A and B are shown apart, each in its own frame.
Chain A
Amino acid sequence: MSGLTLRRPSRTTTLMAAAIGTSLVLAGCGGSGGGGGTAPSAQGPECAAFTQYGDLNGKTITVYTSIVTPEDQPHIDSYKTFESCTGATVKYEGSKEFEAQLPVKVAAGTPPDIAYIPQPGLLASLVRDNKAIKPAPAAVSANVDKYYPETFKSAGSVDGTLYAAPLGANVKSFVWYSPTKFKEKGYAVPKTWDEMITLSKTISAAGEKPWCAGIGSGDATGWPLTDWLEDTMLRENGPEVYDQWVKHEIPFNDPKVAAALDRVGGILKDPAFVNGGLGDVSSIATTTFQDGGLPILEGTCYMHRQANFYAANFPEGTDISENGAIYAFELPPVDASKPTPILVGGEFVAAFTDRPEVQAFQAFLSSPEWSNAKAKAGSDIGQSGWLSANTGMDAANLSNPIDKLSVQVLQDSNNTFRFDGSDLMPKAIGSAAEWKGMTDWITGKSTADTLTFIEQAWPKS
């Protein structure tokens, strides 16, 4: 008995020591995170534009995006002046699983401060279903009103309230081609859809394939075809019908949509026209979108319809210019007498909190200073394919001629724009049924069956 009582206290003391040890380590860990902010460096002239954001010393803003390496670097670089002038720290996290993970983070109650959302449809669902997004602060609204086209403003708005300012933008209605090859063969850039088909037939008659395409993109396989359909919707039926289609005021399997899809099929489902250097019609489904236009360089394909950002997929050193190895023309209209809206896309800055430093960062991102800083940061490290719809953006900061051309297109007040329809539609359509439907369509399903499948998937509630 006495032996037991002797041993017991010693065991207790050991445990006590362990417990004290634990709390010490925990305390030490908690301390290191806190006072880490550095004082703003000397307020030089470059900081003049940043005084409006006040002193944010020691504050941290977390950003969650789908933009991953290597495209993330110019983003991170573009925040440097903001960070050094205001003292705030921006923590950037890119994820390829962004679209799936963001709603999970929101539902779990641990959203980031700011997310760059590439689809207005996802933005709308986060606003309506989760009520998680704060309306854009006044400074952001003022910037958007002043610098951005209406199409971009309304794409960042839900039920008439602006929630998210535009960030990057892309111009989708481009057909990539090789000016040198066209010149060599004596082909001219087509001005109307019919001319484009005639040209395709000429090339085909010469024993070559005029078009190449690829829609493979992991579990987003099919999305390049949704852009094709949107472009032909605008050309076949005009912007009013396009808007009705996007808002589901006409069904997805309306004859007008069928006509537009058949117009796509007139090119992509014609074995005489595709798939230059890549296989038969069905090879479009298994070719990745990154590889889809590369045969132009090899001379096995003549035309590839893809947005301005496709510039980044050509090998480094490719001469992308009006008379070079690669350039792009605007996808021609069906009826040249009517102006055709330009199909655009982009991502949007949504905030899940209204802390002052976050609102200051939002205001910065919506300002021309940021767009220009981002463009410069990209050009500095030789990246192309990025631009912004901010009218305060100076095209001289971009290195790629197609990007410069895109900025001119976006800033031309005579142009009208329409936002990428699949990105505006509910996720069940724009990020699921339409992708699957289009993939099935290119591998053999009929136009009518495909459109009916997508129509039936439209959410009832």
Chain B
Amino acid sequence: MTLLDKLGQLVVAIVVFAAIIGLVLFVADRARGRRAELWQSILFLAPSALLLIVGLIWPALRTIYQSFFDRTSTNFTGVSNYLTIFTQPELLLVLRNTALWVVITPILATAIGLVYAVLVDRTRFESFAKALIFLPMAISFVGASIIWKFVYEYRPNQGNIQQIGLINQFLVWIGLEPVNLLLQQPWNNLLLIMVMIWIQAGFAMTILSAAIKAIPDDITEAARLDGCGNVRMFFSITLPSIRPALVVVLTTISIGVLKVFDIVRTMTGGQFNTSVIANEFYSQSFRINDYGIGAALAVLLFVLVVPIVVYNIRQMRKVNAR
């Protein structure tokens, strides 16, 4: 396809979009009578509702349906796909890894972000320090994974072979044997989680720093006058004041972590017992062509994410209402 073709398609897409919006506006404008406002709202909602149904709701229903069928979606098998997920040792390991991710990542990323935000708050080099930890946010998961793969890279300690991985080079410098890090089970999961924390700590730091700055000065001043020390200040004033922001950060990271796929696929491809639900869903569906188990894993992921999303939205409303 030439550049000209692509530009042509771009123009067509824009014109079609404008035409549809124009049509909606035109029809809405013609609505008359007592219920005009109702009709107008329906019309304005229709395009996005339609896209949601086609792109989200219908596929979701179909996935749930498929999860009760066999490999090729032809024979009904009841809950056997779910039974497989919860009984087969390899898939149980996937669930264990996902649990590790969900427990460790949000807590560590938020804790690091919070401590960092408190430490650099109102210091001379605050914006520079913040930029340092925020920068990884700008790197894609795949890019970050490749960077960290090099950090963990292993070369044997033989003859004149040089280490190319940062960590192993340090080990060799202090006189230890290099370690094939990504093979050390189950610790290799933590090495992968590290990448996610590296990316997400910046996000946590930014939100929490803003929340800390929003704590009214009269509260902190009153506390200081009452003789409140730094530690007491953090636990009795800062933490309670930013609780809603903290919950939003924790839940947002949790949602991202449940869906983590890029890091695992790039760094280990799910090998060496590091697979997680999203990665296993992909390989079951598209590599093994077992759409039943693939769909069941997707549904499981959906079921796990929904409560967190609901909680997240509720807290977000609370934050906004303040």
Cβ-defined contact, B269 with A219, below 8 A? yes
Is A104 part of the contact surface with B, judged by Cβ < 8 Å? Answer: yes
Nearest opposing residue in chain B for A217, CB measure = B269
Is B320 part of the contact surface with A, judged by Cβ < 8 Å? Answer: no
Cβ-defined contact, A99 with B156, below 8 A? no
Cβ-defined contact, B71 with A461, below 8 A? yes
Cβ-defined contact, A443 with B15, below 8 A? no
**Residues on the A chain within 8 Å of B9, using CB:** 29
Task: Report the stretch among A38-46, A388-396, A426-434 that lies at the interface.
Answer: A426-434
Interface size class of A (residues with CB under 8 A): 35 or more
CA distance in complex: A286, B191 (Å):
15
Known contacts A29-B12, A280-B156; is-contact A221 B269 (Cβ 8 Å): yes
Which one of B9, B75, B270, B272 has the greatest number of beta carbons of chain A within 10 Å?
Answer: B272
Q: Which of A245-296 contact B (CB under 8 A)?
A: 275, 277-280, 282-283, 285-286
Cβ-defined contact, A428 with B23, below 8 A? no
Which one of A99, A282, A300, A436 has the greatest number of beta carbons of chain B within 10 Å?
Answer: A436
CA distance in complex: A125, B288 (Å):
11
CA distance in complex: A428, B284 (Å):
8
| Residue-wise interface mask of B (1-41) relative to A, using a CB-CB cutoff of 8 A (1 in contact, 0 not) | 00001001101100110110011001001000000000000
Task: Report the stretch among A15-23, A156-164, A347-355, A405-413 that lies at the interface.
Answer: A15-23
Is A338 part of the contact surface with B, judged by Cβ < 8 Å? Answer: no
CA distance in complex: A104, B270 (Å):
22
Cβ-defined contact, B271 with A432, below 8 A? no
Q: Which of B105-127 contact A (CB under 8 A)?
A: none
Nearest opposing residue in chain A for B290, CB measure = A428
Is A10 part of the contact surface with B, judged by Cβ < 8 Å? Answer: no
**Residues on the B chain within 8 Å of A15, using CB:** 22-23, 26
Cβ-defined contact, A283 with B71, below 8 A? no
Is A384 part of the contact surface with B, judged by Cβ < 8 Å? Answer: no
Q: What is the interface of chain A mostly: helix, strand, loop, or mixed? A: helix
Contact of A300 among B15, B159, B289, B290 (CB under 8 A): B159
Cβ-defined contact, B26 with A427, below 8 A? no
CA distance in complex: A104, B286 (Å):
8
Is A381 part of the contact surface with B, judged by Cβ < 8 Å? Answer: no
**Residues on the A chain within 8 Å of B22, using CB:** 15, 18-19
Is A103 part of the contact surface with B, judged by Cβ < 8 Å? Answer: yes
**Residues on the B chain within 8 Å of A99, using CB:** 287
Is B140 part of the contact surface with A, judged by Cβ < 8 Å? Answer: no
Is B155 part of the contact surface with A, judged by Cβ < 8 Å? Answer: yes
Is A100 part of the contact surface with B, judged by Cβ < 8 Å? Answer: yes
Cβ-defined contact, A22 with B15, below 8 A? yes
CA distance in complex: A460, B232 (Å):
63
**Residues on the A chain within 8 Å of B16, using CB:** 22
Is B183 part of the contact surface with A, judged by Cβ < 8 Å? Answer: yes
Cβ-defined contact, B288 with A428, below 8 A? yes
Is A315 part of the contact surface with B, judged by Cβ < 8 Å? Answer: no
CA distance in complex: A375, B70 (Å):
44
Cβ-defined contact, B12 with A26, below 8 A? yes
Cβ-defined contact, A19 with B289, below 8 A? no
Cβ-defined contact, B154 with A279, below 8 A? yes
Is A78 part of the contact surface with B, judged by Cβ < 8 Å? Answer: no
**Residues on the B chain within 8 Å of A129, using CB:** 72, 289
A residues contacting B by CB (< 8 A) are 11-12, 15, 18-19, 21-22, 25-26, 28-29, 32, 99-101, 103-104, 125, 129, 218-222, 275, 277-280, 282-283, 285-286, 300, 427-428, 431-432, 436, 439, 443, 453, 459, 461
Q: Which 3 A-B pairs have the closest CB atoms?
A: A279-B156, A100-B286, A219-B269
Give 12 new A-B contacts, CB below 8 A, not counting A100-B286, A428-B289, A431-B287.
Answer: A25-B15, A100-B287, A219-B269, A220-B269, A221-B271, A222-B271, A277-B159, A280-B180, A283-B156, A286-B154, A286-B182, A286-B183
